Structure 1
Amino acid sequence: MDVSIIIVNFNSSGYTINCIDSIYKFTKDLSFEIIVVDNQSKPEDVKSLEAHLQNADFTLIKSKENLGFGGGNDLGYQHASGNHLAFVNNDAELTENSLLQLLNYSQSNPKVGCIGLKQVDKNGQPFKYSFRQFIDLKYHLFNQKKPVKYYSNLYNSDLSQPFTVDLVSGAFMVFKTEAYKKCGGFDPKIFLFYEEMDICLRLKKQGYITQYYPKSTFIHYMGKSSGNVALKREFTVSYLYVIKKNYSTLYYQFLRFVLILKYGIKSIFKPKKHLVPFRIALKGGDSLRFSMRAKG
């Protein structure tokens, strides 16, 4: 099997079905399997997926609980047999034979552990972030919020050819299975957000690089796969966990201090937006206790 395609569904079977159909429409000249993990969706949503099994061949795994993005993907991986793993958001849609391009590039570059591609909206307009830097201390202190400009200056390039980045969008990530295993895969403790930063940090520690492939695109109906839930709290929860996990204690505490100042000042002017992350950063310690998963 060339590639195992893993899709997580949560109460959005219409997007999952569209994603599956686009894969079958455009993916040629390689062997693949599709594994759909349902994260405890409503019964009618699951029935839609089961009904679609009559039209498309895929494995449906029904989780007994909502494992989130990382946990759902990791569950799918446990059933995968491909030499590559493609983790694809269910609100993604292929418009060309992207997987063949990515696999050919990955196979010709042994150091590549993960590769991503360009995401556009339904009108063909590029998203702000298909790749970016690690959101670390340097990022906060030097305001490195323009990845295109950052990497263009770094490589003195127009970025039209594949290049190495810190991380790519979690909406479409293709891994060598060997690299995924070596770095430990997606962390099931992360319910949502910053999964790509966590796994790309660990890939780098194992000697692999993450590459962005600008020669192929996919449509991303952004935000649909998460069920339209406002998750400001979860952004901060996951971020603090990833920093604490991957950096030293001193590094973590200093970065947390920077966030306390940042969110503290901003919460004075926009309390609805910044007060919750300020409180989580202020309390520090085990941020996961504030996670939606911990709260049931």
Structure 2
Amino acid sequence: MLSANATPSPPPVANPVSAAPALAESLTVSIVVHRLHRDELLRNLQTLGVAAQRQPATQVRLVLIDNSDASELGEALRALAQQSGWPGARVLSGHGNVGYGAGHNLAILASADAAHLVLNPDVELDPDALSGGLATLASPEVVLVGAVGRDADGRPGYLSKRMPSMWTFFLRGFAPAWLKRRFDARLAHYEYRDLPSDRVSDVTLVSGAFMLARTSALQAVGGFDERYFLHFEDLDLSLRMHAQGRVVSDPGVTLIHHGGHAARKGLAHLRLFLRSGLRFFNTHGWRWL
């Protein structure tokens, strides 16, 4: 399951999932929105719709979570859902900004569908992303599927990761370009650049931009740890999901990810990143180099 470098915390879970339901029957997709970027979310929902049409046997339900501070996005999200071809989308509003993981948990813990997709609003899915991911998730031992990403210019995004160290995070988020080049082999190892492009591979961590999971496994671990307000909650969840089954990266599940590094988003994001990083390493073990 885990790579030799990974040391997950003792899992607060029920018995591991041992049998797979018919995952092609139902899927809930949850998207948390804090600040509304209309064009970006519209592209997200439109590409999700195309991907859903490629999987006609699956009933896909969309849940949009208004995580704005004053819960003012409800009507705008309903309008965008209607405009993008999701008239039956459920919009959750009124709870304020409870954090990324807690927002998704509102949908995860209430779901009765067989599969659940945690999706960022800054993602554009390729047409076969859902059909490919659900086919992989149908394997009895697989509980979590990650995607292969690229940015808007087509450069690879390396969404799966090995267990991080503090030095790795410094290199990725803060180091100048010349220092990154010097330690490129270390970054390549962390980012799983050695993954084969022709088969599904077991990985340690997958990105919260796209986490396609067996709902029963997500609920067995309690969903996201809500003590992480923002950042690292996807890494923590990935580690805890290993107790339920295989965590994999599927090269057939592809997308465009428009996200950026937390260090470039201002002091507020940087503080959240550092606070969550402290919790993550305190929980899963400190690795400096």
Letter of the 2:96 partner, please give it: E
Deviates more, 1:42-51 or 1:215-224: 42-51
Q: CA deviation at 1:7?
A: 0.3
- Whether the aligned pair in 2 keeps the contact of 1:2 and 1:83 (CA below 8 Å) is yes
Instruction: Give 2:91's aligned residue.
Output: 60
With over 3 angstroms needed to count, the CA separation of the structure-2 counterparts of 1:90 and 1:53, relative to structure 1, is closer
After TM superposition, the score normalised by the length of structure 1 is 0.72
CA shift, 1:147, in A, is 3.2
Alignment of 1:1-296 (within 5 A): 1-14=25-38, 15-28=40-53, 29=56, 30-40=58-68, 45-55=73-83, 56=86, 57-107=88-138, 109-127=139-157, 129-136=158-165, 144-147=186-189, 152=194, 158-204=196-242, 206-223=243-260, 228-230=265-267, 231-247=269-285, 252=286, 255=287, 258=288
- CA distance in 2 between counterparts of 1:221 and 1:5 reads 19
CA distance in 2, matches of 1:150, 1:8: 27
CA distance in 2, matches of 1:63, 1:135: 36
Whole-angstrom CA distance in 1 between matches of 2:75 and 2:236: 34
Spell out, residue by residue over 1:145-201, the C-alpha distance to the aligned partner (whole angstroms, 9 max, x if none). Answer: 22378673xxxx744311001011110010111111222211111011111210111
Distance 1:228 1:38, change over 3 A: farther
- Shift, 1:86, TM fit: 0.2
Q: In 2, distance between residues paired with 1:186 and 1:144?
A: 29
8 Å CA contact 1:131, 1:147 repeated in 2: no
Cα drift, residue 118 of structure 1: 1.0
- State the alpha-carbon separation in 1 of the partners of residues 259 and 81 from structure 2: 25
Aligned counterparts of 2:145 and 2:78: Cα–Cα separation in 1: 31
TM-score by length of 2: 0.74
Contact 1:70 1:186 survives alignment (8 Å): yes
CA distance in 1, matches of 2:272, 2:141: 32
Q: Aligned partner of 1:203: which letter?
A: M
Q: Distance in 2 between matches of 1:229 and 1:187?
A: 24
Greater relative CO (CA pairs within 8 A, separation 6+) = 2
How far apart, CA to CA, are the structure 2 residues paired with 1:224 and 1:244?
A: 22
Deviations 1:87-123 (A, max 9, x none): 000111122121111111111x222121111111223
Q: Which amino acid aligns with 2:247?
A: T
Deviations 1:215-268 (A, max 9, x none): 23111111499x955422222211121222234xxxx5xx5xx4xxx9xxxxxx
The percentage of counterpart residues that share the same residue type is 24
Larger Rg: 1
After the TM superposition, which of the residue ranges 49-58 and 60-69 deviates more from structure 2? 49-58
C-alpha distance in structure 1 between counterparts of 2:129 and 2:196, whole Å: 21
Is the CA contact (8 Å cut-off) linking 1:165 and 1:211 kept in structure 2? yes
**Larger helix proportion of the pair:** 1
Q: Distance in 2 between matches of 1:137 and 1:149?
A: 14
The count of residues paired between Structure 1 and Structure 2 equals 243
TM-aligned CA deviation for residue 52 of structure 1: 2.7
For structure 1, the 5+ residue unaligned runs are 263-296
What is the alpha-carbon distance in structure 1 between the residues aligned to residue 213 and residue 238 of structure 2?
10
